[in-house]
Amino acid sequence: MKKRTIIAIIITIFTLFCSNKLWLDFSPMSVDFDILGKGECNIEAQLNKKDNNEFKQIKSQGRKINLEEISHVRISVERSKFPKRIRFVFNDITDDNQIEIKNITLKNGKYKLDDLKAFSINNGKLAYSDNTIQITPPQAENSMILTYNKPIDIRTSVKFDFKIFIVILVLTYLLAYKLTDYIANFNTIKHQSRIEIIFLLIFFIFLFVPMSHINQNKYSLKENRAFAIWKPLIKKNGGINFNFGKDYNSWFNDRFNLRPFFLNSQIKILMPITKKLPKGFIYPNDYIFSDNEIENKLGEINQQDYEALIKFDKYCKEHNIELYVLLVPSRKYIYPPTKDIYIKDEYALKIYEKVKELNQKYNMHIVNPLKELKEGTKNTYTYFKADPHWTFDGAYIGYKELMKEINKKHQDIYVLQENDFNYYESYLVNSNFNDDFIYGYNSTYMNLPEQYIKKIHNTKYRYYIHKKANRLKIKTKVIPYHLEKNFFYPNGADYRVIVLGTSMTENLDEFIPYTFKNVFHIRNNNVKNIPNEDQFKIIKYHEKDILEYKPNIIVFCITYGNMTRLRQFFEME
């Protein structure tokens, strides 16, 4: 028994050593420098593992640059753990003029190559001036190598991935222990079948496939949802997570290797047999509904949610801001997937009646275009068939209802008419922050085979382009805790407007920014570094933005399905 345990431990240690690339995440080595010159060239940074001039065990990365358009270059070299030497290879130089390089640093500026006399060049001319290296390629040649002849003493940042380490540790030990156990039994028990050992070996080898590459992404664009997050056994406050097993299972199921392959294989096999789809439904009119849309998993809206909305309205009034709330009905209330779902589910009707009460009792401005969108389906598609978002036609209906409410107080604001736009049609879906045309989130969320996706995309949707789109200036910011766009349109009404909300705000960007002179669009969900459970904590993350921008109007756009998150508005923890 002890021998088997010792052998299993030795095998486990050996496996951990061989698989260190999986649980030790080495950050890329960044190489930065300022550059000045003319023409174009390819620059490659080469980091050598050994402390010599041979450069045989190198890790390298390169990029092509236009020297007249760029003044700073960053090259990130992957998998360079402990480099000892560095050199720069210049190829395809299109101009024989002088190139100047200075401020060469590694590892985000932590290590400086400040001894310029340590540089040498294999061909061409090399000179120094005011902390600047000047290199000139020889005539009739378009390549040269700039080498730093002194050893560099720097280590790549490394991150220990405890989760993957534990997976490898546990699976390796179990495999090693079981194998030694079976081999021992095979030697002592007569007629023991070799097939059992072979089967067990293959079985445990296959167990290593899912954990060989763990997806580290926090959000799946394809499935339009956040992945389960890692929840440790020991909490930050020192408490024990008694749901660790369940949490770990959810985390691993979302991230194991070859997950998309297995899901696609499952669909291709089951669809012809069962005529059903995982995670959703396809109806005879080719509307694809995910299970999240059909089932209202967020629960019932309670008084706490409405009180948070009332409090936010009061907060805006205290800062001389007018708040307009645009409620976007869930698609199932506009295109019911079954004949009786709208009748049976009173969720939408309850919201409709509550909105009337809040507007009358608290003098709020809540717009709920449920009836108008249902009426609009007689003439156009107000929602996409393979995506839960409203189309440009649907968003235009919502925009007009919003402007009706705003015009009650501001009759000077011009409401965009249909003749203000040019139009085109597409079978694809555009409903995201980046204005990408895709097959629709529901198609990809269900991992439908591409040939089937193309088959069901048989509907053309109308898209709007403002006739003076060239006059709209847009600045986009995608950084931690911020996903936003700043719009300036000189012909718009002289108001400062903030648009808050989820993905339903995206197609409003074809209308609201052309209505007002200054529009600040802040996205609340799917924002880098903001956890999914925090995405409606408006005051925590965006109060500074609101107060500094000093808007006249805030438009808050939210769907029926997310209204149970309103209670988070003023939560700070």
Give 465's pLDDT tier (boundaries 50, 70, 90). Answer: very high
| Residue corresponding to tokens 């009180």 | 307
pLDDT value of residue 551: 96
| 92-122 core/surface letters (b: 16 or more CB in 10 A; e: else) | ebeeeeebbbbebbbbeeebebeebeebebe
Average pLDDT for the chain: 81
Tell me: the pLDDT tens digits for 468-477? 999 999 998 8
- Residue range 264-272: average pLDDT? 61
Indicate the domain borders of the chain. Answer: 1-25+157-210, 28-156, 293-568
pTM for the full predicted model: 0.57
Tell me: the pLDDT tens digits for 325-342? 999 988 888 887 765 555
**493-501 vs 553-559, strand pairing mode:** parallel
pLDDT value of residue 510: 94
Please provide residue 96's backbone torsions phi and psi, each rounded to the nearest 5 degrees: -90, 15
Compute the half-sphere exposure of residue 348: CA atoms within 13 Å on the CB side of its CA: 20
Residues in the chain: 573
Give 199's pLDDT tier (boundaries 50, 70, 90). Answer: low
pLDDT at residue 439 greater than cutoff 60: yes
pLDDT at residue 343 greater than cutoff 60: no
More confident site: 17 or 269: 17
Measured CA to CA, the distance from residue 48 to residue 455 in angstroms comes to: 52
**Would you state the CATH architecture of domain 28-156?**
Sandwich (2.60)
- Position 51: which residue type? D
Residue pair 315/306 in contact (Cβ under 8 Å)? The answer is no
Q: Which two tokens stand for residue 307?
A: 């009180």
Measured CA to CA, the distance from residue 544 to residue 450 in angstroms comes to: 44
Q: What percent of the chain has pLDDT over 70?
A: 82
- Position 476: which residue type? T
pLDDT at residue 236 greater than cutoff 50: yes
More confident site: 344 or 546: 546
Tell me: the pLDDT tens digits for 371-403? 899 899 988 999 998 888 999 999 999 999 999
Q: Could you give the residue ranges of the DSSP H alpha helices within 94-228? A: 162-188, 194-211
Measured CA to CA, the distance from residue 221 to residue 523 in angstroms comes to: 16
Task: Give the closest residue to 401 by CA, choosing from 464, 484, 337, 325.
Answer: 325
pLDDT at residue 190 greater than cutoff 50: no
